[in-house]
């Protein structure tokens, strides 16, 4: 699932970082690292080439891959609507972001 999302949904990963994570910059590049029943981990790059990691939670716990894909799709649609100002960002953004020492994604 992770490879599929990183290959086919790169734009969604960037949008997730920009919408769901409390950042003071626009993400330049990113990828999903891990998915479990509670959410997913992402690694992303800032315009200054710094690399960060964050965990983005699912709206609710999932029990299988189908549930994870469904949550991903719903979150993707909602993030797109927030980005296009169809919805306000009435959710709590992820505040815990870890700056990585190495520069590679």
* pLDDT greater than 80 at residue 102: no
Give the C-alpha separation, 13 to 9, whole Å.
7
In the chain, domain spans:
2-99
pLDDT digits (tens, 9 = 90+) for 70-80: 999 999 999 99
Give the C-alpha separation, 73 to 40, whole Å.
13
Residue 72, token pair as written in the block: 């991903």
Find, among 13, 15, 3, 14, the residue nearest to 82 by Cα. Answer: 15
DSSP 8-state secondary structure symbol assigned to residue 101: S
Residue 35 forms beta bridges with which residues?
40
Give the C-alpha separation, 80 to 87, whole Å.
9
φ/ψ (deg, to 5) at 44: -145, 160
Q: Find out if CATH 3.40.50.410 is the number for domain 2-99.
A: no
pLDDT at position 104 is 78
pLDDT digits (tens, 9 = 90+) for 43-57: 999 999 999 999 999
Going by pLDDT thresholds of 50, 70 and 90, the confidence category of residue 91 is confident
């Amino acid at each position: 699932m992770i490879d599929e999302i990183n290959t086919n949904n790169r734009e969604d990963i960037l949008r997730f970082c920009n919408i769901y994570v409390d950042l003071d910059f626009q993400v330049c590049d990113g990828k999903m690292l891990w998915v479990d029943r509670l959410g997913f981990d992402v690694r992303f790059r800032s315009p200054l080439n710094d690399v960060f990691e964050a965990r983005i939670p699912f709206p609710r716990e999932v029990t299988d891959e189908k549930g994870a894909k469904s949550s991903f799709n719903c979150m993707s649609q909602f993030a797109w609507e927030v980005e296009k100002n169809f919805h306000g960002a009435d959710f709590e953004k992820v505040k815990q972001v870890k700056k990585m020492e190495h520069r590679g994604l």
